[in-house]
Structure 1
Amino acid sequence: MFGQRKACVRIVKGTTRDAAGLREAADRWHRDVAPGARGWLGSTGGVTDDGVYIGLARFASEKAAHRNDKRREQIEWWDRTSALFGGEVTVNESTDVETFGHDGSDQAGFVQVLQTRVRDREAVRPFLPQEAQDTLARLRPDMIGGLFCVQPDGVCIGVAYFTSREAAREGERTEMPPDYKAWRDEQMAHFEDDAVFHDLHDFWLHSP
């Protein structure tokens, strides 16, 4: 769903009581708006059990994302879709994007989003060194891959794609080797806040 290339990710977050309506809106975007969205690489959207919606749309570049914003089809779609939210909807974007594993996958059976804030970006570039990725690939086959997006204000959004919710829960109990634990503990010192996890039990994935 996501290619290994420089990209711009648009991140939308809000609350809703109409997950089904947002799913239908996402399908409508894919059917009616996506064909003219040059540079669009894929989208992930979903709603948690307590009504938090998180959506990410990835474009090949910032220019491609902004070009799509100006399209009549996009403006009309958003005017209609925004009525499905309650309260404030935040829209942010990031051009500081890293992928890991097999990136996103349209075959994922479970998606989890984490939000935190990075204190020293350069100290955790990359977020997952190759050694850590190799360890995860060996010990966490439930984790297909994912991406990290850092916004200009330091807010970090991570998305992980799993084979299933049950496999992910089982994988969380995997005993990781000491060198991986030491790396993870050192890395966490570069983040300001405890990560907030959002499990997208009702989610949808689209690709060009």
Structure 2
Amino acid sequence: MFIQIIQGKVRDAGEMRRLSDEWRDQMGSSAQGWLGGTYGITDDNEFVGVVRFESREAAARNSTKPEQGEWWSRMEACFDGPASFHDCDNAVMFLNGGSDDAGFVQVIQGRVSDPERFRHFMEQPMDMLHEQRPEIIGGTIGMEPDGWFTETVAFRSEAEAREGEQKELPEQAQRDWADEMAMMNDVRYLDLHHPWFASAPMAGMTS
């Protein structure tokens, strides 16, 4: 799986949301290899789009379409300055990968010192996490070769997410998570209080 992250300060949030829906409705069904996406705008007007494709090649084919270029020119005008892009071939989903019914999404960004170790950790079965934190539906992680990562965590609601943050995991799980967190630097959290989603017709509810 390939993940592309698009970010930037927003000039026109309403038009950005409208154009996101337009792409889903008018171009999503013909975008070969597109799987879905998670989108939102933070309280300080930063847009985050996490878009999933089957492969980098599928994403590249889509970007060369004339209609994609015309659409992006209108979308780009919604940003207050240039948008940034991060292309992640090293991408995984955990638990159920997320849900179009999620009420709250937290985006975590930073850098890990050992991307492959982190990927291996996140690919392990997470039955304990699901049992202890049932409000976590799932999520995605995209990493670049230098260790820069974007993680999305989908929750049923923000209230349940905040309540769950206060819970203590079993001792071994706490140690495991602490070991992984020690690998992270320059971590920032972006809260999407009103996320929106899109899924390819055959991709199911796993945006």
After superposition, residues 117-132 of structure 1 pair within 5 angstroms as 117-128=111-122, 130=124
Show the counterpart of 2:42: 48
Mapped to 2, the partners of 1:99 and 1:187 lie a distance apart of 17
* C-alpha contact 1:9 1:57 (8 A) present in aligned 2: yes
Mapped to 1, the partners of 2:28 and 2:116 lie a distance apart of 35
Deviation at 1:151, TM superposition (A): 1.5
User: Aligned-pair RMSD on alpha carbons?
Assistant: 1.3
* Structure 1 residues 36 and 105: CA distance shift in structure 2, 3 A: same
After superposition, residues 34-45 of structure 1 pair within 5 angstroms as 34-45=28-39
Show the counterpart of 1:14: 8
* Structure 1 residues 184 and 89: CA distance shift in structure 2, 3 A: same
Show the counterpart of 1:173: 166
Show the counterpart of 1:202: 194
Deviation at 1:175, TM superposition (A): 1.4
Q: Does 1:143 align with 2:136?
A: yes
Mapped to 1, the partners of 2:98 and 2:181 lie a distance apart of 24
Deviation at 1:18, TM superposition (A): 2.2
Deviation at 1:129, TM superposition (A): 5.2
Percent identical among aligned pairs is: 40
Deviation at 1:10, TM superposition (A): 1.1
* C-alpha contact 1:98 1:126 (8 A) present in aligned 2: no
Deviation at 1:120, TM superposition (A): 1.2
Deviation at 1:34, TM superposition (A): 1.1
What is the identity, as a one-letter code, of the residue corresponding to 2:141?
A: F
Report the TM-score, using the length of structure 1 for normalisation.
0.92
Show the counterpart of 2:63: 69
Report the TM-score, using the length of structure 2 for normalisation.
0.92
Structure 2 unaligned spans of 5+:
201-207
Structure 1 unaligned spans of 5+:
1-6
* C-alpha contact 1:117 1:191 (8 A) present in aligned 2: yes
Mapped to 2, the partners of 1:161 and 1:190 lie a distance apart of 23
Give CA-to-partner distance per residue, 1:41-82, whole Å, 9 cap, x none.
Answer: 001111001001100111111110000000111101000110
Mapped to 2, the partners of 1:42 and 1:135 lie a distance apart of 27
Mapped to 2, the partners of 1:102 and 1:92 lie a distance apart of 23
